[in-house]
């Protein structure tokens, strides 16, 4: 066993400047695409909600213009100021909204929706009603770039049962007990896909922390509202990305191979209870995420978990590579596949066939899991993020959550769980694979605090599955990750 530490991977911002931290990087250098052709200059923000929430959200957006003070904290790096919105600050672009970009659900309609009995029926009706409003916006001459869906309390109460809007963190893949209940978020995203408008859900607590949202008894953690600066950072970064901007990318050495990171995952379809369908999420160093839907799963005799047939594995990767080529004009020099379960014999055969067919010399097939194997420090704080324990040349434990030197604290609860990495095909040294994995945890556009537990490939998988399960087979799916996050 060999223990070492990976330094915090830097990210690249405007002017090719680098910083380890997202928010300070944006503040100091602006987004990666600042000054580039196609970078958003003026983002038209649509808003849909009740009279109250639309007005509140518009007011909030207005107040973002002047910025928010840093949270009073002794961790100045963890809770920085939000400097405001202008051509000189953070995003180097404007965020605007106006009456033409807004749609208000009448009180009568909200009351009607909230009164519909049955979770499934009500969710369907709410989704339809909100999607209709977004549809109206999508046909206007001044079309919004992104739509904020500011949910009224009455609808939150009825639609969010056991899940929170952004629960991609700390997910252990535990089976969802809500069973046949419909997931409002996934369904709404799925139904807005055809409108070609990315949406962002938000709760009234965003613009007014005094809002009390009654929760079900089952939910025990209070939803503690973040400080205004953090809210603005997170929400506006997501909006910037959804509007086509590129806030940051992985800082990579020019000598490194052009790599495509692909995550393979399965989700359970809503129509047939036990049918799993596979997807591939593909990311390059720009975090450009592309989503593909693959074949149906088969249950492997080896471990009785969902797997792809050799043919489906081949098809899925072949298509991924094709999409990469359409984007970049060439095939990647290296492919990294992530999966949260073991690659079985058939999958290995299928993937290798697709890789060989394109003469790709470097492939890393990595099985990533949260681990119960842990390290304990002799102190209050858990081990540092970046701690890497190598067992052998193809297996290692990586701390992606842990004490963060830049924040000078451990920004989490309980003792963190590291990731166990097992490389079933190793093209690059394990140290390199692990460093890349750590860097990929920083590519989450939904969160500007960089110490995410999972790499974006895997974090995205769950969100993608939750949306895709509501998109019927045969219907075209949006390839951009913006429509799923």
Partner 1 sequence: MKKIGRSDIIGQRGMAHIDGVVHSMGYVFYPTGGVEAGIDGYIELRDEQTEVVGNLLLQVQGKSTERQRLQAETDDSFEFPCSENDISYWLHGTAPVLLIVVLPERGTAYWKSIKEWFRDPERLKARKVVFDKNNDEFDRNAKQAIAAIALATSPGAVAPSARIQEDLLVNLLGVSFGKTLYWAPTDHATDKSFGAALREIDPDAGGEWIVRSKSVLSFHDLDRWPWNKLCQAEAMEEFGSDEWADSDDEDRQRDFVALLNRAMGRFVQPTLWHDRDSGAYYFRKPRDRDKLRYAYKSLKSFVPRDVVKRYGKRRDDPTRPAYFRHSAFLHRFTRLGSEWYAEITPTYHFTRDGYKPDELFGGERLKRIKELENNAAVMGQFVMWRHFLTTHGTATLYADQYPFLGFLALDPLCLEVGVPDDLWKSQEGDPGSPLFDWAQAEAAS
Binding site for partner 1 (CB under 8 A): 1, 3-5, 7, 19-21, 23-24, 27-28, 70, 72-77, 80, 220, 302-303, 372-384, 387, 389, 391-392, 395, 403, 405-406, 408-410, 413-415
Longest distance between any two alpha carbons in the chain, whole Å? 65
Collect all residues with Cβ–Cβ distance below 8 Å to 145 and sequence separation of at least 6: 40, 43, 44, 45, 46, 242, 243, 244
Burial 296-332 (b: 16+ CB within 10 A, else e): bbeebeeeeebbbbbebbbbbbbbbbebbeeeeeebb
Name which of 19 and 189 has its Cβ closer to partner 1: 19
CB 421 within 8 A of CB 393: no
Q: How many Å separate Cα 474 from the centre of its chain?
A: 25
Nearest to 8 by CA among 22, 30, 470, 301: 22
Q: Least distance from C-beta 373 to partner 1, angstroms? A: 5
Name which of 99 and 303 has its Cβ closer to partner 1: 303
Name which of 328 and 377 has its Cβ closer to partner 1: 377
Q: Least distance from C-beta 80 to partner 1, angstroms? A: 6
Name which of 28 and 288 has its Cβ closer to partner 1: 28
Distances (CA, A) of 324 to 209, 258, 463, 479: 43, 11, 21, 12
Tokens of 365: 């097939």
Q: Least distance from C-beta 280 to partner 1, angstroms? A: 26
Phi (first) and psi of residue 58, to 5 degrees: -65, -40
Q: Least distance from C-beta 52 to partner 1, angstroms? A: 33
3-class DSSP state of 335:
strand
Collect all residues with Cβ–Cβ distance below 8 Å to 85 and sequence separation of at least 6: 64, 65, 67, 91, 93, 94, 95, 236
Q: Least distance from C-beta 135 to partner 1, angstroms? A: 43
Name which of 125 and 415 has its Cβ closer to partner 1: 415
Residues in a beta bridge with 268: 276
Q: Least distance from C-beta 20 to partner 1, angstroms? A: 6
Name which of 16 and 141 has its Cβ closer to partner 1: 16
In the chain the first and final C-alpha atoms are separated, in Å, by 38
Name which of 179 and 379 has its Cβ closer to partner 1: 379
Burial class from Cβ neighbours inside 10 Å (0-12, 13-18, 19+) for residue 90 reads buried
Q: Least distance from C-beta 319 to partner 1, angstroms? A: 30
Q: Least distance from C-beta 416 to partner 1, angstroms? A: 9
Q: Least distance from C-beta 433 to partner 1, angstroms? A: 17
Name which of 28 and 109 has its Cβ closer to partner 1: 28
The residue written with tokens 């969802």 in the block is 176
Name which of 119 and 409 has its Cβ closer to partner 1: 409
Nearest to 104 by CA among 158, 159, 149: 149
């Amino acid at each position: 066993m060999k223990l070492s530490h990976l330094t915090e991977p830097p990210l690249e911002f405007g002017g090719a400047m680098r910083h380890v931290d997202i928010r300070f990087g944006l503040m100091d250098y602006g987004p990666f695409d600042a000054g580039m052709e196609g970078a958003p200059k003026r983002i038209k923000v649509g808003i849909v909600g009740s009279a109250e929430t639309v007005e509140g959200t518009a007011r909030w957006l207005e107040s973002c213009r002047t910025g928010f003070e840093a949270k009073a904290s002794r961790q100045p790096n963890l809770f920085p100021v939000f400097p405001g919105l202008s051509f000189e600050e953070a995003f180097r672009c404007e965020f605007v909204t106006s009456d033409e970009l807004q749609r208000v659900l009448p009180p009568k309609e909200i009351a009607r929706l909230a009164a519909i009995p049955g979770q499934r029926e009500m969710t369907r009706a709410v989704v339809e009603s909100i999607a209709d409003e977004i549809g109206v916006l999508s046909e206007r001459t001044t079309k919004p770039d992104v739509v904020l869906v500011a949910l009224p309390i009455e609808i939150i109460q009825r639609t969010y049962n056991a899940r929170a809007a952004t629960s991609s963190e700390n997910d252990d893949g535990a089976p969802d007990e809500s069973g046949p209940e419909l997931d409002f978020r996934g369904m709404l995203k799925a139904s807005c896909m055809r409108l070609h408008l990315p949406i962002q859900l938000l709760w009234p607590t965003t613009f007014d922390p005094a809002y009390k949202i009654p929760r079900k008894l089952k939910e025990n953690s209070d939803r503690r509202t973040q400080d205004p600066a953090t809210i603005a950072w997170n929400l506006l970064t997501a909006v910037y990305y959804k509007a086509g901007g590129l806030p940051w990318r992985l800082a990579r050495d020019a000598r490194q191979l052009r790599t495509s990171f692909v995550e393979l995952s399965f989700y359970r379809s809503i129509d047939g209870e036990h049918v799993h369908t596979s997807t591939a999420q593909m990311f390059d160093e720009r975090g450009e995420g592309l989503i593909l839907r693959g074949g149906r799963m088969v249950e492997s005799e080896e471990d009785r978990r969902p797997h792809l047939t050799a043919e489906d594995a081949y098809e899925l990767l072949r298509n991924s590579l094709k999409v990469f080529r359409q984007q970049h004009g060439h095939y990647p020099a290296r492919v990294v596949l992530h999966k949260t379960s073991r690659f079985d014999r058939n999958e290995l055969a299928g993937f290798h066939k697709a890789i060989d067919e394109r003469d790709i010399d470097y492939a890393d097939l990595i099985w990533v899991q949260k681990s119960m194997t842990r390290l304990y420090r002799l102190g209050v704080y858990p081990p540092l993020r970046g701690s890497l324990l190598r067992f052998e040349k193809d297996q290692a434990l990586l701390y992606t959550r842990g004490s963060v030197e830049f924040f000078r604290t451990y920004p989490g609860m309980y003792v963190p769980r590291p990731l166990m990495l097992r490389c079933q095909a190793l093209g690059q040294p394990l140290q390199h694979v692990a460093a890349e994995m750590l860097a990929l945890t920083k590519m989450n556009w939904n969160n500007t605090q960089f110490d995410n537990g999972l790499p974006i490939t895997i974090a995205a998988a769950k969100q993608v599955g939750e949306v895709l399960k509501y998109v019927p087979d045969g219907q075209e799916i949006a390839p951009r990750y913006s429509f799923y996050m």
